[in-house]
Amino acid sequence: MNGEEKTTLALFLDLAGDYLKDGYKRDRQYTPGFFPDDAVPSSLPLAYQVDEDEHDEYTNEPFDSPELKTNDIDTAIRNCRACALATVKKNAVPGEGALHPLVMVIGEGPGADEDSSGRPFVGKAGQLLDKMLASIELSRETNCFIANMVKCRPPGNRDPDPSEITACFPFLKQQIALLRPRIILCAGRVAAQNLLSKNQGINSLRGEFFSYENIPVLCTFHPSAILRDESLKRPAWEDLKLLRAKLNSSENDA
Ligand code: SF4
């Protein structure tokens, strides 16, 4: 029985229990979550525990290939019920892009356009992000991966709350471990503060490199903030130049 079937069965049993007890259907905050092997996200085995010599019988891809592992993570995200955002989302948004990225961009969470499409950064802010990346020869088609701190949309575009970020963080952690980007770019305060475990605002965090799991991390303004305030364009451009220079120096070192 797969996770979706288990969830359906659990919902049915809850409903039957309500009717047998007193005939009153109780509202539940969110549905039970079942993951592969019934693990919670922090201990999700995903594809990391498979025998590296085994191959997928249909594609003949080795089981430890980034393609199959990201597919496993995406499936776990789409089946996830670990926080209340699962009940209000239309689509989970695992992330997309190159599987051996130079840069991994991390935003805070999906907005309305992303929730509808299941893809990250596709609204006006996403179009601006694509332009910003293109200005330093980066793109999600070739050398960037785009993801968010939380994979389901917080209602009304509010910031994800700390419990939602904590519940979702294992997925991002696994994506970073699998993709091993050369540099991480945090777009906005929420991603910057939570990835780096810092409290300062984005104005303090931008413009210098930090480190996460030995990967250099640069923070800059979220494209939505730049759309609201044009004066942020220049400092954001300075950040992008810094990012390009770091990439160039790491390419020279390689
Ligand atoms: Fe699961 Fe993350 Fe979606 Fe919450 S936001 S339901 S933890 S995938």
Ligand 1 pocket: which of 34, 85, 87, 90 to mutate (most atoms <8 Å of CB)?
A: 85
Ligand 1 close to Cβ of residue 150 (< 6 A): yes
Same domain, yes or no: 26 and 92: no
- pTM, full prediction: 0.77
How many structural domains does the chain have? Answer: 2
For 145-173, what is each residue's pLDDT tens digit?
999 999 999 999 899 999 999 999 999 99
Residue 115 pLDDT class (50, 70, 90 cuts): very high
Quick one: pLDDT at residue 50? 36
DSSP-derived secondary structure letter, 28: -
Q: How far apart are CA 119 and CA 68, in angstroms?
A: 19
Distance of CA 9 to the CA centre of its chain: 28
Q: The tokens of 212 are what?
A: 């996460």
Distance of CA 184 to the CA centre of its chain: 12
Please, are residues 168 and 204 in contact by the beta-carbon 8 Å criterion? Answer: no
Q: The tokens of 46 are what?
A: 């995903």
Same domain, yes or no: 112 and 207: yes
In a domain, 55, yes or no: no
Q: Which atom of ligand 1 is nearest to the CA of 164?
A: 4
In a domain, 202, yes or no: yes
Residue 28 pLDDT class (50, 70, 90 cuts): very low
CA 160 to ligand 1 center in whole angstroms: 10
Q: The domain containing residue 220 runs over which residues?
A: 66-253
Ligand 1 pocket: which of 164, 169, 172 to mutate (most atoms <8 Å of CB)?
A: 164
In a domain, 61, yes or no: no
For 120-151, what is each residue's pLDDT tens digit?
999 999 999 999 999 999 999 999 999 999 99
Residue 40 pLDDT class (50, 70, 90 cuts): very low
Same domain, yes or no: 85 and 8: no
Mean of the per-residue pLDDT values of the chain: 84
Same domain, yes or no: 38 and 159: no
In a domain, 56, yes or no: no
For 53-88, what is each residue's pLDDT tens digit?
455 555 555 555 667 678 899 999 999 999 999 999
Ligand 1 close to Cβ of residue 186 (< 6 A): no
Same domain, yes or no: 138 and 112: yes
